[in-house]
Every structure is written in structure tokens, then in C-alpha cells.
């Protein structure tokens, strides 16, 4: 059974970079697509981007200049970096696996607050 | 971007009721519509994919329908454990987008 677990700092200062790790067990990240999704206070959800089984990426244009998704296949992990954060980036961040376009397995999520 | 509008935003119903949640896309999404259930403090769970396909392990009281721009999630007999927020999600066009959610409560 695939399991995903997000990790990273819960507090980031404005203008700094947010860096999160998604550790995957029970399934190889060299198969399927792997994404990041966030949920803002108030319930709005935003798809941020994905990294594919081959390492190609696709990002939400609203974030394109600030986001980077990378991976380490030897550790079966993939990563989110979001630069120049503001208080509007405060959210719960989820990593998830895509199966034929549907995000079918999710991590528990990590809450990140952007505040000085 | 495709806008996904869910209605109602809050739904209160009794145990055993048949409940219907709605999701409307701003343009045709060709049935690439998923439904997720999120309980408080938990990760979203995939219920229905591509309009009407029940994800493995999901009770058969959940069903989905629709086409074009209009989609529906139906719970045939509401159970106490169904209290959650339900999101629709389109994966027809980039960027992928979510609805704003329907919060389902028990009367």
C-alpha cells in the first residue's frame, strides 16, 4: 500500500523560501505522477504542480515563477520549493499520487504558516 | 482557468436521507470530474473518479453522474460517518482546479 508523508518547517518568514519533502513508501516514484496541492484557511484548494515518473514537471501558471518540484529517486522522495513567500502562502500542503489523472493517495498534510 | 462552483456550500440532512451535491464547471470538462471527501483533520479521500467510477473500498451508497459542465454526487442513504466536506475536482484542463466545497452536516 502506498503511503505519503509530508515534512518540513511549520513556520516560514515572509520573502523566504518554503521547502517541503514528501516521503513515499510502498510505491516507486519512478512510476505515475506526483503532485503538490494546498488548502488555504477557509477551505479553498489549489493544485500547485506535479513531477512525473520521468522527472518532467508541470506547474500552475499562478505559481510558475516561484515554484520548483524536484525528486530524489534513491530516497523515493520528491520536494516542493516555493520562493518569495507571503502571508498568502499560509496553507496546509499535501503531496499526492496521480493515477490516470486522479489524485488517489494523499499524505496527511503539513500546515505551514508564513509570518515574521 | 476552469472555475468549479459547488452548491450548496452547506447541507444539513438527516440520517437515512438521500442527499445530492452539485458541481458546475465554467466550461465542458468531458467527464474528467472527481469527488473527494475530507473529514476534519484528515487527508482528502477519493470517492468517485471520472464522473461515475467508484473508487475501490468506497461504499456503494456514493454515486456520481453528469456530463458537460454539470455534475452530481449522490449519497443514497446518509450515514453519520459521512459528515465531511466534499470537493469536486476537474482534471480535463490545465491548471487543474477544485470546487470550493460543500460541508455536509447531520441534522
Q: Which of B42, B44, B95 sits opposite A60 (nearest CB)?
A: B95
Interface test with B, best of A91, A101, A108, A109 (most B CBs within 10 A): A101
Going residue by residue through chain A (116 aa), what tens digit of pLDDT does each one get?
999 999 999 999 999 999 999 999 999 999 999 999 999 998 899 999 999 999 999 999 999 789 999 999 999 999 999 999 999 999 999 999 998 889 999 999 999 999 99
Q: What is the pLDDT of residue B54?
A: 97
Of the pLDDT bands very low, low, confident and very high (cuts 50, 70, 90), residue B83 is: very high
| Three-state secondary-structure class, residue B74 | strand
What integer is the mean pLDDT of B92-106? 96
pLDDT on residue A46: 97
**Cβ atoms of residues A22 and A108 within 8 Å:** no
CB within 8 Å: A47 and B100: no
CA dihedral A22→A26→A27→A33, nearest 10 degrees, is -40
pLDDT, residue A100, reads 83
Q: How many contacts (CB atoms, under 8 Å) link A and B?
A: 42
User: How far away is chain A from the Cα of B102, in angstroms, using its nearest Cα?
Assistant: 10
Q: Quick one: closest CA in A to B100, which residue?
A: A44
C-beta separation of A63 from A5 below 8 A:
no
Report the pLDDT value the prediction gives residue A99, as an integer from 0 to 100: 87
Give per-residue pLDDT as tens, A9-32: 999 999 999 999 999 999 999 999
- DSSP-derived letter for residue A82 is E
Residue of B nearest to A104 (CA): B46
* Sheet strand arrangement including A67-72: A3-7, A18-25, A77-82, A67-72
Does B55 reach chain A within 8 Å, measured CB to CB? yes
pLDDT in tens, B44-68: 999 999 999 999 999 999 999 999 9
Name the nearest CA neighbour of A116 among A9, A2, A4, A11.
A11
Interval B81-89 mean pLDDT? 97
Q: Is B47 exposed, middle or buried (0-12, 13-18, 19+ CB in 10 A)?
A: buried
pLDDT at B32: 97
pLDDT of B98 above 90: yes
Bridge partner residues of B107 (DSSP):
none
Q: What is the pLDDT of residues B13-56, one digit of tens each?
A: 999 999 999 999 999 999 999 999 999 989 999 999 999 999 99
d(CA B33, CA B55): 13
A107 CB within 8 Å of a chain B CB:
yes
**Mean pLDDT over each residue of chain B, to the nearest integer:** 97
Q: Quick one: CA torsion of B27, B104, B61, B74, rounded to 10 degrees? A: -30
Task: Count helices and strands (H / E) in chain B.
Answer: 0, 11
Q: Give residue B39's pLDDT.
A: 96
Strand partners, A91: A112
Of A36, A43, A103, nearest to B35 (Cα)?
A: A103
Nearest CA in chain A to B34: A102
Give residue A89's pLDDT: 97
B-contacting residues of A 45-74, CB under 8 Å? 45-47, 58, 60-62
What does DSSP assign to residue B81? G
Amino acid at each position: 500500500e502506498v503511503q505519503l508523508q509530508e515534512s518540513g518547517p511549520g513556520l516560514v518568514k515572509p520573502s523566504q523560501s518554503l521547502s517541503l519533502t514528501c516521503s513515499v513508501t510502498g510505491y516507486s516514484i519512478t512510476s505515475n505522477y506526483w503532485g503538490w496541492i494546498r488548502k488555504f484557511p477557509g477551505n479553498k484548494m489549489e493544485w500547485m504542480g506535479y513531477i512525473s515518473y520521468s522527472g518532467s514537471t508541470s506547474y500552475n501558471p499562478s505559481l510558475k515563477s516561484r515554484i520548483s518540484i524536484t525528486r530524489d529517486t534513491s530516497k523515493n522522495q520528491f520536494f516542493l520549493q516555493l520562493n518569495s513567500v507571503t502571508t498568502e502562502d499560509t496553507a496546509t500542503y499535501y503531496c499526492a499520487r496521480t493515477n490516470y489523472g486522479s489524485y488517489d493517495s494523499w499524505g496527511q498534510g503539513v500546515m505551514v504558516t508564513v509570518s515574521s | 482557468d476552469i472555475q468549479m462552483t459547488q452548491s450548496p456550500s452547506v447541507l444539513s440532512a438527516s440520517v437515512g436521507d438521500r442527499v445530492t451535491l452539485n458541481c458546475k464547471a465554467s466550461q465542458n470538462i468531458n467527464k474528467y470530474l472527481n469527488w473527494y471527501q475530507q473529514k476534519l483533520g484528515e487527508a482528502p479521500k477519493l470517492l468517485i473518479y471520472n464522473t461515475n467510477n467508484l473508487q475501490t473500498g468506497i461504499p456503494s451508497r456514493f454515486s456520481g453522474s453528469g456530463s458537460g459542465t454539470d455534475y452530481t454526487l449522490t449519497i443514497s442513504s446518509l450515514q453519520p460517518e459521512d459528515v465531511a466536506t466534499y470537493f469536486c475536482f476537474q482534471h480535463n484542463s490545465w491548471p487543474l482546479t477544485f470546487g470550493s466545497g460543500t460541508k455536509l452536516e447531520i441534522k
